[in-house]
Amino acid sequence: MERLERASVQETCGPKLNEPRDPQYWLDQPGAPKPKLDNEKPQGKTVRYEELLKTWEQARES
C-alpha cells in the first residue's frame, strides 16, 4: 500500500496511509481489539486418565 501511495498510480482513489503511531494509541480507541496476553497459548499439561475421571465425577455431583 505504501508503494502505491508513493507512486501515485491511482490518482483519484489511491491509498492514503495514516501516520505511524504507537500501537497503544490504536488499542485505546473505542471498539479496538484487546491486546495480546503475555501467555496467549500456555504449554499443555498431561493429566492421568484416572484423575480426569475423578474430576468429571466430582463436577457432576456438584
Give CA–CA dist 18/45, Å, rounded.
44
List, for residues 14-59, the tens digit of each pLDDT value: 888 889 999 899 899 999 998 888 888 889 999 999 999 999 999 9
Domain residue ranges in the chain: 1-33
So what's the pLDDT on residue 1? 84
Give CA–CA dist 58/51, Å, rounded.
11
Whether the pLDDT of residue 8 is over 90: the answer is: no
